[in-house]
Amino acid sequence: MSSPPISVVIRTLNAAVTLKPVLEAVRLQPDDQLVLVDSGSTDGTLELATAHGAHVFRLAAKDFSYGRALNVGFAQARHEWVLALSSHTVPVRPDFLDLYRKAVREQFGLRVAAAVGPLMMSDFDQGLPGGITYFEQGDFRKGFGFGAGNPNSLYRRAIWEKHEFDETLPGGEDLDWYVWALKQGYQVAAVHAAEVRYISRRPAKAFFTKGRVDHRISARLIEAHQPSLAGIAIRCAKLMLYASMGRIDWHGAKGSLFHCLGTYVEARALRQANVKNARRPGASS
pLDDT of the chain, 285 residues: tens digit per residue: 578 999 999 999 999 999 999 999 999 999 999 999 999 999 999 999 999 999 999 999 999 999 999 999 999 999 999 999 999 999 999 999 999 999 999 999 999 999 999 888 666 566 667 899 998 877 766 665 545 689 999 999 999 999 999 999 988 899 899 989 999 999 999 999 999 988 877 788 878 887 887 778 777 777 767 788 888 888 788 878 877 877 677 777 787 788 788 888 988 888 888 777 777 776 554
How far is it, in rounded angstroms, from Cα 241 to Cα 141? 32
Q: What is the per-residue pLDDT for 273?
A: 81
Q: What is the per-residue pLDDT for 262?
A: 84
Q: What is the per-residue pLDDT for 141?
A: 66
Q: What is the per-residue pLDDT for 122?
A: 62
Q: Which strands form 55-58's sheet, in the order they lie side by side?
A: 55-58, 33-38, 6-12, 81-85, 152-156, 112-116, 187-191, 132-135
What is the reported pTM?
Answer: 0.85
Q: What is the per-residue pLDDT for 280?
A: 72
User: Check: CATH 3.90.550.10 for 6-198?
Assistant: yes
Q: What is the per-residue pLDDT for 285?
A: 44
Please, are residues 45 and 19 in contact by the beta-carbon 8 Å criterion?
A: yes
Q: Where are the domains of the chain?
A: 6-198, 204-279
Q: What is the per-residue pLDDT for 33?
A: 97
Alpha helices (H) along the chain: 16-26, 45-51, 66-76, 96-106, 157-162, 173-183, 204-221, 229-245, 250-279
Max CA separation in the chain (angstroms): 67
Q: What is the per-residue pLDDT for 80?
A: 97
Please, are residues 48 and 87 in contact by the beta-carbon 8 Å criterion?
A: no
Q: What is the per-residue pLDDT for 10?
A: 98
Q: What is the per-residue pLDDT for 146?
A: 47
